A and B are shown apart, each in its own frame.
Chain A
Amino acid sequence: MTTISKIRYSRRSMLKAGGAAVAAAALPAPMVWGQETKNITLRQFGTGVSNLNEVATKVKEDLGFTLEMTALDSDSVTQRAATQPDSFDIADIEYWICKKVWPTGNLQAMDTSKIANYDKIVGTFRSGKLTPESVIAQGTAPHTVGFTSGQNGKDFVQEESGWMTLIPTIYNADTLGIRPDLIGRPINNWSELLNPEFKGKASILDISSIGIMDMAMVVESMGEYKYPDKGNMTKEEIDLTLGIFTEAKKAGQFRAFWKSFDESVNLMASGEVVIQSMWSPAITAVRSQGIPCVYQPLEEGYRSWGGGIGLSASLSGMELDAAYEYINWYLSGWVGGFLMRQGYYSAVPETSKNFMSEDEWGFWFEGKPAQGDITNPFGKVMEKAGAVRDGGSFYDRMGAVACWNAVMDENQYMVRKWNEFIAA
């Protein structure tokens, strides 16, 4: 969908950064403090998930500098990160986007020794294992693209090297959303998406990197094929997967495809669709309209995604220090709490706990029944007392991740095939 792609190369005037550096050198202040902070502006862009105006307001309050947010869709975010390095300071992107964008050298690595809460970051993002017994899921797992060799490294290394590409900030486990009232029976497998019983009432998203993973989950669940690595398919596997779905499409299985978040909400809320790939906030949006909608945990597991903050390669001097402050502040709990109360997970749950009520923590993280009504940060009631979060606790959900959103080696081929699928 939405390609609000703005192609803009602006040669960032080094004068500005140079001047700031001179000023910073003149004043012996290692920390960014005082009057100078008021004049610092950091430009952040990313998907709408975390580019919330509330965060910018709180940053101004707590840290003093201005955070300019721009929200775009996944495709445009990729484009911007890859082609307009001077147009942003902070990139709030997902790990699979990072895989595409990191080799361009537009982002700089972060020194983990400067990050206060590094050790408290959830294992999934460091060693790849949530608990020591976890199995590493298929696809572009964040830890595989999370570390690099040095400050300006353009590669990925597979151990905790001390230089991170992105600081993990937000992630979740995705699955299919359903209308339990219109379906009327339990749904337990990904294969139900192609069940002819729901002919004309199913939907899937039209974003190739994410959609292909959902498709793979369905195909494997149907027993048609078992993938050695869903996250890195061969050409034949891609043909197989898209072939199955093209047949279903021609048979009229799908009512529509969605490309933007609100389309998915509409489809579910209006009853046009009863089963579809969905994102967590869409489920809550449908529920907040008083319509029953369930984020259904499935036997085969979840498809997960993770996002993080990256720094532009052109950041230096005071702005760079401000950026590190921002990152440390981000992981210190307020934002974590804010995001967790909408259904996401923060990379440092411990600190977020301080900013959530006991009931909220119990509901969102521990999977316990809610003691009272659960409201989201905007005041909307999301769940009534006694409700249990779909899927249960953090460990139930993030421990059952079957695959991550992925960028495959055969990506260009996959995209072409995807276009054929849409045109079929």
Chain B
Amino acid sequence: MRKTSITGWLLASPLSLILLVFLAAPIAMIVVVSFWGATEWAIYPAFEFENYEFLLTSSVTYRVFLNTFKYVAITWACTLVIGFTVAYYLAFHIRTLTWQIVLFLLCTIPFLTSNIIRMISWIPFLGRNGLANSALISWGVIDEPVEWLLFSDFSVILAFVHLYTLFMVVPIFNTMMRIDKSLIEAAADAGASGWQTLWQVIVPLTKPGIMIGTIFVLALVMGDFITVRFMSGSQSANVGRMIQNDIALLQYPSASATAVILLVTVLLLIGTLLRFVDIRKEL
């Protein structure tokens, strides 16, 4: 027995090494630097709470965090609904494995184009003179171009949903595939309608997949900064942007302090979610 546990340890060592150097150490570094001071162009070791003090007493911090949470909540709701429907379709209505794979690949191909270029392309699509507005005007739905299609919260959420729905689809699909088909048959035999089967059998059984998808989406949206900047026309802020602004101005200690607060928040949220699902079993 001891032999196998050492083998296990050895096998896991490259993994541990990589994670220690590139994950654990950087996090430790960030925590340490968050206590340092900074001048215009250099940082110096110190132990001051000034960064945290400033962050925790500034109303901007709270506003920005709230804004970030707002994005997370709305994105989560949208990706959940869309993701669940797509996963359901793929799991229960597509008969053959080949077709499932094909449709999956179809979904992933758009992600092969660089993120940045894709974001630039939303402007010709959603802008005042863009495709969407032109189409709507020519169909007579509206008279004037709709302004809030672009550079607004709507466009930010739209971009988020576009980018991250797939992260919701995959875990839900995974869990759905493991549902024992005989349970559904049993429900049908017991006289349940389609809707009832859905709500009372399938959804409860898919909960772990939904949890995992939620964790993904939450982590990705909370950490994003590029999407928010582009799609809101730099008018909206979220935590990632605050960190990035600080980095740009060489204010690493203050960036680190914000980073620590962000990390703690994310880990708390995800830790809570993990209480409801045991990942190792659900894979």
In the complex, A touching B (Cβ < 8 A): yes
Contact partner of B42 (CB less than 8 A), chosen from A5, A82, A257, A259, is A82
Contacts of A422 in B (CB 8 A): 234-235, 237, 241, 245
CB-CB under 8 A for A3 and B41, given A259-B229, A270-B129, A423-B237 = no
- A101 an interface residue at 8 Å Cβ cutoff? yes
Contact partner of B150 (CB less than 8 A), chosen from A3, A259, A272, is A272
- Please give the residue numbers on chain A whose beta carbons come within 8 Å of chain B beta carbons, in ascending order: 1, 3, 5, 75-76, 78-79, 82-83, 100-101, 103-104, 200, 203, 206, 208, 249, 254-259, 266, 270-272, 411-412, 415, 419-420, 422-423
Binds A, one of B96-104, B175-183, B247-255, B274-282: B247-255
- B110 an interface residue at 8 Å Cβ cutoff? no
Shortest distance in angstroms between A41's beta carbon and chain B's nearest beta carbon? 27
Q: Give B123's nearest chain A residue, CB to CB.
A: A266
* Complex Cα–Cα for A140 and B127 (A): 38
Shortest distance in angstroms between B126's beta carbon and chain A's nearest beta carbon? 10
* Complex Cα–Cα for A392 and B18 (A): 61
Contact B147 A412 (CB under 8 A): no
* Complex Cα–Cα for A259 and B248 (A): 12
Contact A83 B42 (CB under 8 A): yes
Shortest distance in angstroms between B66's beta carbon and chain A's nearest beta carbon? 11
Q: Give A418's nearest chain B residue, CB to CB.
A: B245
Contact partner of B127 (CB less than 8 A), chosen from A83, A272, A415, is A272
Chain A interface SS verdict (over half):
helix
Contact A76 B248 (CB under 8 A): yes
- B45 an interface residue at 8 Å Cβ cutoff? no
CB-CB under 8 A for A271 and B42, given A3-B248, A79-B250, A419-B237 = no
Shortest distance in angstroms between B124's beta carbon and chain A's nearest beta carbon? 7
Contact A420 B41 (CB under 8 A): no
* Complex Cα–Cα for A203 and B151 (A): 12
Contacts of B250 in A (CB 8 A): 78-79, 82-83
CB-CB under 8 A for A270 and B124, given A79-B248, A423-B64 = yes
* Complex Cα–Cα for A206 and B129 (A): 24
> How many residues on the B side are at the interface (Cβ–Cβ under 8 A)?
34
Q: Give B232's nearest chain A residue, CB to CB.
A: A256
Shortest distance in angstroms between A37's beta carbon and chain B's nearest beta carbon? 34
Contact B60 A419 (CB under 8 A): yes
Contacts of A423 in B (CB 8 A): 60, 63-64, 67, 236-237, 242
Contact A206 B60 (CB under 8 A): no
Contact A256 B233 (CB under 8 A): yes
CB-CB under 8 A for A256 and B235, given A75-B249, A83-B41, A423-B63 = yes
Q: Give A106's nearest chain B residue, CB to CB.
A: B41
Contacts of B64 in A (CB 8 A): 423
Contacts of A82 in B (CB 8 A): 41-42, 250
Shortest distance in angstroms between B16's beta carbon and chain A's nearest beta carbon? 26
- Of the candidates B64, B120, B237, B248, the one having the most CB atoms from chain A within 10 angstroms of its own CB is B248
Contact B128 A100 (CB under 8 A): no
Shortest distance in angstroms between A354's beta carbon and chain B's nearest beta carbon? 40
Contact partner of B123 (CB less than 8 A), chosen from A78, A203, A254, A270, is A270
- Of the candidates A206, A208, A270, A272, the one having the most CB atoms from chain B within 10 angstroms of its own CB is A272
* Complex Cα–Cα for A408 and B41 (A): 14
Contact B63 A411 (CB under 8 A): no
Given contacts A78-B41, A422-B245, 13 further A-B contacts (CB under 8 A): A3-B248, A5-B247, A82-B250, A103-B41, A249-B235, A258-B233, A270-B124, A271-B128, A271-B129, A272-B129, A412-B251, A415-B251, A423-B64
Q: Give A208's nearest chain B residue, CB to CB.
A: B249
Contacts of B251 in A (CB 8 A): 412, 415
14 contacts between A and B (CB under 8 A): A104-B42, A203-B233, A256-B151, A257-B234, A258-B234, A271-B127, A272-B128, A272-B129, A411-B40, A420-B58, A422-B234, A422-B241, A423-B64, A423-B67
* Complex Cα–Cα for A258 and B234 (A): 7
Contact A270 B130 (CB under 8 A): yes
Contact B234 A256 (CB under 8 A): yes
* Complex Cα–Cα for A208 and B241 (A): 14
Q: Give B252's nearest chain A residue, CB to CB.
A: A7
- B244 an interface residue at 8 Å Cβ cutoff? yes
Contact A1 B229 (CB under 8 A): yes
* Complex Cα–Cα for A272 and B147 (A): 9
Contacts of B234 in A (CB 8 A): 1, 206, 256-259, 422
Contacts of A270 in B (CB 8 A): 123-124, 127-130
Shortest distance in angstroms between A102's beta carbon and chain B's nearest beta carbon? 10
Contact partner of A101 (CB less than 8 A), chosen from B41, B232, B244, is B41
Shortest distance in angstroms between B222's beta carbon and chain A's nearest beta carbon? 16
Proximity string of chain B (216-251) to chain A, C-beta cutoff 8 Å, 1 when within and 0 when not = 000000000000010011111100011011011111
Shortest distance in angstroms between A196's beta carbon and chain B's nearest beta carbon? 15
8 nearest A-B pairs in the assembled complex, by CB-CB distance? A256-B233, A257-B234, A423-B237, A82-B41, A75-B248, A3-B248, A256-B151, A206-B234
* Complex Cα–Cα for A127 and B236 (A): 43
Contact A420 B235 (CB under 8 A): no
Shortest distance in angstroms between A34's beta carbon and chain B's nearest beta carbon? 40
Proximity string of chain B (75-112) to chain A, C-beta cutoff 8 Å, 1 when within and 0 when not = 00000000000000000000000000000000000000
Contact A419 B242 (CB under 8 A): yes
- Of the candidates B40, B127, B150, the one having the most CB atoms from chain A within 10 angstroms of its own CB is B40
